[in-house]
Amino acid sequence: MYCKKRILIVDDEEDLTWSISRKLLRDVDYFEIICANSGDRALEMLSQNRIDLVVTDLRMPEVNGIQLLKEVKENHPDTQIIVMTAYGSVDVKNIIQKYGDIGYIEKPFEINDLRRLIQKVLEISSGQQGEQQ
């Protein structure tokens, strides 16, 4: 039996988290989407829920994406991570790679590219070979 994966979308741009979650609704059989509009709120949600995947922006006030990434890796090692950023560079990729196998996508992106990356990351983490659309 397939268990839905819980995905936490984190970005300080409320319109973006809403848009991503709404567009991923077609995958409602596979994913449960929750959103946080700050790194602080994301940490709170991580402490209260089982989260399979965090999709986070890097540039956010207070707790930024790198701090969130570090916290997830230290305290929630089974949670997978995808970083999304509009400020991609070799330096950013090098920083992210220090934390292990992290998904990466640059803004602006097509939702189908993000969907494929999510499916890839979750299949790798769960070892499931189930067919997903």
For 28-51, the pLDDT digits (tens) are: 888 899 999 999 999 999 999 999
What is the predicted pLDDT for the residue at 129? Answer: 40
CB-CB contact of 32 with 7 (8 Å): yes
What is the predicted pLDDT for the residue at 89? Answer: 85
Alpha-carbon separation of residue 68 from 17, 74, 81, 127 (angstroms): 16, 10, 10, 25
Q: What's the pTM? A: 0.89
What is the predicted pLDDT for the residue at 27? Answer: 82
Average pLDDT over residues 69-90: 94
On the question of pLDDT at 97 being above 80, the answer is yes
Average pLDDT over residues 111-118: 95
Average pLDDT over residues 11-24: 95
Q: Any bridge partners for residue 36, and if so which?
A: 10
Alpha-carbon separation of residue 117 from 41, 63, 73, 74, 131 (angstroms): 24, 24, 19, 23, 14
Is 5-126 a CATH 3.40.50.2300 domain?
A: yes
